[in-house]
Amino acid sequence: MPNQQLESRVTKQWQDIGFQGDDPKTDFRGMGLLGLENLLFFATEYRSPAQHVLSHSRHPIYGYCFAIVGINLTSMAWLLLRDGTAKTYIYNTSKSLPSIRLFHQFYSYLFYEFDRFWLECKPRDIMEFSTIKDRFENNIRVSLQDSSTTFRIGVSVDEI
């Protein structure tokens, strides 16, 4: 939310972007700085898609906690990298030695596509998150089995 001045480090404003409470540090425990860096990369490098995803996260029926979902997707991206599943993406996308930027781009793709998938699933409520996330991860794993897989964020904006 680049057009809003942050009132203080501990403020209810954090809840507006999907943190659980007034202090975002408590939500980063699982993924630490990598979770923060991924969120910042997505919001700055893919500003319009990130704002689009944020607007979906606020949907009155299909909404979800943007930041918390983002941190969970950092965990998924890290797991896919660590277990070797993401090597297809890395090899097909990198023109030189892989860098953290490539990981951030992979994460950004996952976040953008997860949002699309979440809305397609039309969940009853946030309690379906784990099931939908697992289905999404399985779809990504299947896609990564294709040796020609590359991921790009498609910036077409759909209204819901």
Assigned domain for 43 exists: yes
- Domains of the chain: total: 1
**Tens digits of per-residue pLDDT, 60-114?**
999 998 888 999 999 999 999 999 999 888 888 877 778 899 999 999 999 999 9
Helices (H), 58-125: 66-82, 87-93, 100-121
**Does residue 148 register a pLDDT over 80?**
no
150 pLDDT band, cuts 50/70/90, is low
pTM of the model: 0.82
Predicted confidence at residue 159, as pLDDT, reads 44
Structural domain containing residue 86: 26-144
Distance between CA 7 and CA 68 in Å, rounded? 21
Assigned domain for 123 exists: yes
Assigned domain for 7 exists: no
